[in-house]
Chain A
């Protein structure tokens, strides 16, 4: 049985290979970039704005609001990273309604890449906010004894991010594939609905968890100043 779309390889040269996951990812990237470009070509500040611009503004402000609720006050600074994560995962989940579409997030390599992005983004944002020393200090809080545990948690939560998204998306696709062979008529549609729900929840969870990790890495100085 095909566990992931990584196993559909079209072209291979040494260690580089072109498989279905990469093709779908690039297709989605082209779709999203081209769509964003088309939508933001004629932006208006005055009242009669186009329908597409209104929709886009709803999405952006909603993501901004969610980031603020996690505790990141300057949401604009993190909007590009977290919003991209959310939109990519959400689109790859919504794409499952198209027959024959295999979500790239259903392969462990894609989700590992996304989790590694979070893994690298957390120290990047932390250092930008507090400086190198201030960021490194977060590892020794509340006491220096917690240093190894903080490092372990950093690694294990990256793995958890990757495996959680992979497991959810892959199990959804696989359950549908199994059900199609058993009861081909109505049941797969219901499971697709359930898969859409869990996929959207996972997209939300992934970006919210990334926001929470970034908030934990950047908020030390805020806390220090608020306590005097």
Chain B
């Protein structure tokens, strides 16, 4: 196999790993965040507006990590600079 094939193989394997890990870890984090937010919503329903807003902003922050992984994975698959 020539080098470009090896690069393609490595890219595909790395893409799978990137998406797998990059979905798993932010999912755990988001799960924790939502669980805590639900608990505090149940304790203080009056503060629901603040809690929900902070939750959304925080979730977007956490989700950014997953989005980074997605962008890297898509770059590796469809716009790989090494395979030109």
Q: Which residues of A contact B (CB under 8 A)?
A: 1, 3, 66, 69, 160, 163-164, 166-168, 170-171, 174, 201-202, 204-205, 208-209, 212
Contact = CB atoms under 8 A, between A and B. Distances in A.
A205 B57 contact: yes
B57, B60, B70, B79, most chain A CB atoms within 10 A: B60
A201 B57 CA distance: 9
A97 B64 CA distance: 25
Nearest to B67: A167
Interface string B50-84: 10010011001001100110110010001100000
B1 interface: no
**7 smallest beta-carbon distances between A and B, as pairs:** A167-B67, A205-B60, A164-B64, A1-B78, A167-B71, A167-B70, A160-B64
Contacts of A174: 74
Nearest to B71: A167
A66, A166, A202, A205, most chain B CB atoms within 10 A: A205
B60 A201 contact: yes
Contacts of B67: 163-164, 167-168, 171
B49 interface: yes
Contact of B49 (A69, A160, A205): A69
A205 B56 contact: yes
29 contacts: A3-B74, A3-B79, A66-B53, A69-B50, A69-B53, A163-B64, A163-B67, A163-B71, A164-B63, A164-B64, A164-B67, A166-B71, A167-B64, A167-B67, A167-B70, A170-B71, A170-B74, A171-B67, A171-B70, A174-B74, A202-B60, A204-B56, A205-B56, A205-B57, A208-B53, A208-B56, A209-B57, A209-B60, A212-B57
A163 B64 CA distance: 8
